[in-house]
Amino acid sequence: HAADAHRTDLMTITRFVLNEQSKHPESRGDFTILLSHIVLGCKFVCSAVNKAGLAKLIGLAGETNVQGEEQKKLDVLSNEVFIKALVSSGRTCILVSEEDEEATFVEPSKRGKYCVVFDPLDGSSNIDCGVSIGTIFGIYMIKDGGEPELEDVLQPGKNMIAAGYCMYGSSCTLVLSAGRGVNGFTLDPSLGEFILTHPDIKIPKKGKIYSVNEGNAKNWDGPTAKYVEKCKFPKDGSAPKSLRYIGSMVADVHRTLLYGGIFLYPADKKSPNGKLRVLYEVFPMSFLMEQAGGQAFTGKQRALDLVPKKIHERSPIFLGSYDDVEEIKALYAAEE
């Protein structure tokens, strides 16, 4: 009976990815191994995030940890865990992390063919008040042959072979695309396994929510200002949109993916390239949006067509439901 099968025939993320990979005879399980190391990093961060408040209480009670050193900050700790997990997978050659100025080139004996770009703990302003935060990652394949070079990670987002995020929220949710749709998995803490809970996610064609830091409105450009005005005072007889803004990209994008609508971090006079980073924020989320049937636009072009020149480059971004992004594209087209 279907419900029983559901409870006893568990589709873990590893099983899911193995199934997918088995459709490709050339695959040797490398991607599955890489992913299991990313998943390990996510589980570690999830457990650290859940204990963060507690650790502080222990600190206040006057205790120090074993080495007597100060608690490492959660974002620094998360970065170390991901770097070590990725290097030890033996499947990576270049790592780019938001936390590290320079890219990490994996030593030859531990090298594999994948390049991983990631933000180990995004939304750090939300850590101390217990609001959702997340990890974002994107995966490229090294270009043919030769030594790994920075060029290998300065590829347009459309060349990514996979992307995803893990949200540390009321539950721990991992959303992944390897280029054949988007699937969501929820961590079952009693099993320590991510179980498929959101198969084949499709974003609604149009949404009722817009998500932006309106505190920057004074410095917006024309099309962004016009768009947000339209959300609040629609002239076509439709209902105004609701505003939701968490200030954690993973949480804002996750809601947008499931409920529809638009998330924007536009350019403004103070930050002409917006705030979010191309490689490990804009690209992975744009990849997921397109795979779910939505769109991602920079104000000038399709986000995944962008070719980054520097690893920590930023770009404005508008992403979400297909029809909602069409509207902002039309406003930018009208400017030209």
Residues at the site binding ligand AHM, with contacts judged by CB under 6 A: 98, 119, 122-124, 213, 247-249, 252, 265, 275
- Retrieve residue 217's tokens: 């409105």
Name the residue with the smallest CB distance to Mg ion: 122
Contacts of 213 (CB under 8 A, 6+ apart): 245, 247, 265
Residue 119 in the binding site for Mg ion (CB under 5 A): yes
Give me the least distance between CB of 75 and ligand AHM, in Å please: 8
Residue 252 in the binding site for Mg ion (CB under 5 A): no
Could you identify the residue written with the tokens 């049937």? 293
Tell me which stretch binds Mg ion (CB under 5 A): 113-121, 190-198, 228-236, 316-324: 113-121
Give me the least distance between CB of 251 and ligand AHM, in Å please: 8
Cβ distance to Mg ion smaller for residue 13 or 83:
83
213 binds, among ligand AHM, Mg ion, none (CB under 5 to 8 A by kind): ligand AHM
Give me the least distance between CB of 60 and ligand AHM, in Å please: 25
Cβ distance to Mg ion smaller for residue 168 or 227:
168
Hey, is 114 helix, strand or coil?
Answer: strand
Cβ distance to ligand AHM smaller for residue 43 or 275:
275
- Single out the residue of 271, 328, 256, 334 nearest to residue 299, CA to CA: 328
Cβ distance to Mg ion smaller for residue 31 or 265:
265
Residues in 47-86 that interact with Mg ion by CB under 5 A: none
User: HSE on the CB side for 155, CA within 13 Å?
Assistant: 20
Give me the least distance between CB of 212 and ligand AHM, in Å please: 8
Residues in 121-180 that interact with Mg ion by CB under 5 A: 122
- Single out the residue of 141, 100, 118, 146 nearest to residue 37, CA to CA: 118
194 binds, among Mg ion, ligand AHM, none (CB under 5 to 8 A by kind): none
- Retrieve residue 302's tokens: 């399709």
- Single out the residue of 48, 4, 15, 1 nearest to residue 195, CA to CA: 15
Is the Cβ–Cβ distance between 294 and 325 less than 8 Å?
A: yes
| Rg of the chain (C-alpha set) | 20
124 binds, among Mg ion, ligand AHM, none (CB under 5 to 8 A by kind): ligand AHM
Cβ distance to ligand AHM smaller for residue 178 or 249:
249
Hey, is 113 helix, strand or coil?
Answer: strand
In whole angstroms, give the CA distance from residue 209 to residue 260. Answer: 7
User: HSE on the CB side for 28, CA within 13 Å?
Assistant: 4
b or e along 11-36 (b: 16 or more beta carbons within 10 Å of the residue's beta carbon)?
Answer: bbbeebbeebbeeeeeeeebbbbbbb
Give me the least distance between CB of 128 and ligand AHM, in Å please: 12
Give me the least distance between CB of 123 and ligand AHM, in Å please: 4
In whole angstroms, give the CA distance from residue 29 to residue 271. Answer: 42
Give me the least distance between CB of 292 and ligand AHM, in Å please: 18
247 binds, among ligand AHM, Mg ion, none (CB under 5 to 8 A by kind): ligand AHM
Binding site for Mg ion (CB under 5 A): 119, 122
